[in-house]
Amino acid sequence: MIPGALMNRVLAVNIDLDDLRFYRGIHALPQQPENAEIFKLGLPRFLDLCERHEIKATLFVITDDLKIPGVSEAIRDAARRGHEIASHTRSHDYGISRRDPDSIAAELAGSRRDILNACGIEPTGFRGPGYNLTPDLLDGLIRAGFLYDTSIMSSPPYWLARALIIAAMAATGRKSSSITGRARDFFRGHRPFVWGGPGKGLVEFPITTAGPLFLPLIGTTLAGRGALVRQAVTIARGREFVNIEFHGIDFLDREADGLEPELLVEPALKIPLAERMHNFDLALRMLGEGRRSPTLATLAASFNAS
Ligand SMILES: [Zn+2]
């Protein structure tokens, strides 16, 4: 159930600020010296985009990254500009949802403490790595005091494609740091809901997917303008609630930002940054028409109060 006045025509925009070392891990590429490109180059471009469209965004931070020089300053600056800071775990362990409850609790409490120490803000939102959840992780979120989760992406084809890629890598002797995950979480629809029923306290904001192929509205897809993307955006425009997920890497340029050519395995980087930014602008203009764009924390607070 969506409280009418609350969810009426909302566009939520958020970004996972995964450092480049995680992409090198996924693709089994050699690590490079830390230059914090995601935070120093990508994040300002994302914030400018949001502010052009009067969007208050939510930033999901892997809190171990707050130790990288310059990162906590960049995050604090975003918070000062009215954007929300939320947790994307402390370590970005793709297997966090499978760990024992005590270990999950330590990771979640640690990530909240890291954000409090670095920014003076107590985060209320969470996104897990790789769209994976388990009952233990959901219990841990409630116990740690989170008000909402936004890890669900209802896209069965995405789940299948990722499972095939991980299997293909394993077959050629390469180990991906990503995991296949719980299939049923990729069949949960596109409307916000409360885990365990109303009054339990943990709101779920699914990342929007649309169209016959359940195309996710994420940076990788919105970077292009093919027929399937246009169709998914058109369908999403008719819905009350739209939740778009970007990643920091969506706002980097392989060549201009001096990234190694091997990172071109990441689909978003294959399109020149100027063209991507143009397409992001177009998508946000279409999806934002006649909508409010508050942070997910603002939405979760009124969801729980209603
Ligand atoms: Zn991530």
Q: At what angle do helices 71-80 and 43-52 cross, to 10 degrees?
A: 10
CA of 282 to the centre of ligand 1 (A): 25
pLDDT at residue 5 in the model: 47
Among 38, 283, 26, 296, residue whose Cα is nearest residue 178: 26
Q: Kindly give the residue spans of alpha helices, DSSP state H, lying in 124-155.
A: 135-144
Taking the centre of ligand 1 as the mean of its atom positions, its distance from the CA of residue 95, in whole angstroms, is 12
How many angstroms separate the alpha carbon of residue 62 from the centre of ligand 1?
8
Q: pTM (2 decimals)?
A: 0.91
Structure confidence by residue, pLDDT tens digits, 188-235: 788 899 987 666 679 999 999 999 889 999 999 999 989 999 999 999
Provide the sign of the torsion angle of the four alpha carbons 180, 11, 277, 91, taken in this order: negative
CA of 176 to the centre of ligand 1 (A): 14
Q: Which residues pair with 87 in a beta bridge?
A: 61, 126
- How far does residue 4's CA lie from ligand 1's centre (Å)? 31
Q: Was domain 4-305 assigned CATH 3.40.50.1820? A: no
Q: How high is the mean pLDDT of the chain?
A: 91
Q: Taking Cα atoms as reference points, which of 93, 89, 57 lies closest to residue 75?
A: 57
* Tokens coding 168: 């293909």
How far is the centre of ligand 1, averaged over its atoms, from the C-alpha of 88 (Å)? 7
- Please give the full DSSP string across 271-289, using - where no structure is assigned: S-HHHHHHHHHHHHHHHHT
DSSP 188-213: S-SS-EETTSTTS--EE-PBPEETTT
- Percent over 70 (pLDDT), the chain: 93
Pairing status of strand 215-216 against strand 209-210: antiparallel
pLDDT in tens, 23-81: 998 889 999 999 999 999 999 999 999 999 999 999 999 999 999 999 999 999 999 99
| CA proximity to 53, closest of 231, 292, 273 | 292
d(CA 70, CA 35): 10
Q: What are phi and psi of 161, to 5 degrees?
A: -60, -45
Ligand 1 center to 212 CA (angstroms):
26
Strands 125-126 and 148-149: parallel
73-102 confidence digits (pLDDT tens):
999 999 999 999 999 999 999 888 889 999
Cβ atoms of 49 and 284 within 8 Å: the answer is yes
Tell me the CA end-to-end span of the chain in Å, nearest whole number: 11
Q: In 3D, which of 234, 285, 231, 303 has the Cα closest to residue 13?
A: 285
- Is the pLDDT confidence value at 2 over 60? no
What is the per-residue pLDDT across 249-306, written as a single tens digit (0 to 9) for each?
999 999 999 999 999 999 889 999 999 999 999 999 999 999 999 999 999 988 766 6
| Dist. CA 226–CA 229, nearest whole Å | 5
Gap from CA of 290 to ligand 1 centroid (Å)? 30
Ligand 1 centre to CA of 17 (Å) is 7
Of 10, 25, 108, 119, give the one whose Cα is nearest residue 55: 10
The pair of structure tokens assigned to 242 is: 């739209």
Instruction: Determine the residue type at 47.
Output: L
